[in-house]
């Protein structure tokens, strides 16, 4: 277990209030920690990031106290986090000008989404940890549709 990751997770959890979106994966229950909408020419892509480590993140809440930020689940306070987590980066691609006349073609963004690269950079209290490239542990493109999932194992 590593405690330094809690600072980086605080940034991700701070962006949303209330219940987090959860998603079942082969690695456990993922909790949405952020999203980004991107346009590339005529293709629009919604990226969502989910943190997964078994069921560790399911039900985990960020609580701001007078002593600082802490994470709680079932009235238990967590000061350390798993040694590594899976970050599920989900990408959904659609034409930006979708209409009944312009339905998306199957695999319309396969050239773009099939060649993505990733990098990680944890932020700690006073210093940034080294940026490094990450190769997905697994890539899922079920039924060759509009959704892609990239599972990245990140040491925490």
d(C-alpha 49, C-alpha 55), whole Å: 16
pLDDT the model gives residue 13: 42
Residue 25 has pLDDT above 80, yes or no: yes
**Rg, Å, the chain Cα set:** 17
Residue 14 has pLDDT above 50, yes or no: no
Q: Which helix H or strand E contains 49, and what residues bound it?
A: strand 43-52
What global pTM score does this model have? 0.72
pLDDT the model gives residue 2: 33
Q: Is 26 helix (H, G, I), strand (E, B) or coil?
A: coil
Question: In Å, how far are 15, 32, 33, 57, 94 from 47, measured between CA atoms?
Answer: 15, 11, 11, 19, 12
What share of the chain has pLDDT > 90, as a percent?
A: 18
């Amino acid at each position: 277990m590593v405690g330094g990751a809690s600072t980086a997770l605080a940034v991700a959890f701070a962006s949303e209030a209330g219940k987090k979106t959860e998603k079942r994966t082969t690695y456990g229950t993922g909790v949405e920690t952020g999203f980004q909408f991107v346009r590339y020419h005529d293709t629009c892509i919604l990226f969502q990031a989910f943190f997964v480590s078994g069921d560790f993140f399911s039900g985990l809440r960020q609580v701001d106290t007078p002593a600082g930020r802490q994470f709680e689940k079932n009235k238990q306070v967590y000061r350390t986090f798993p040694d590594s987590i899976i970050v599920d980066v989900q990408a959904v691609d659609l034409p930006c000008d979708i209409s009944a006349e312009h339905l998306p073609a199957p695999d319309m963004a396969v050239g773009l989404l099939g060649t993505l690269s990733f990098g990680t950079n944890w932020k700690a209290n006073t210093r940034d940890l080294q940026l490094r490239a990450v190769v997905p542990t697994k890539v899922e493109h079920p039924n060759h549709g509009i959704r892609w999932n990239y599972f990245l194992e990140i040491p925490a």
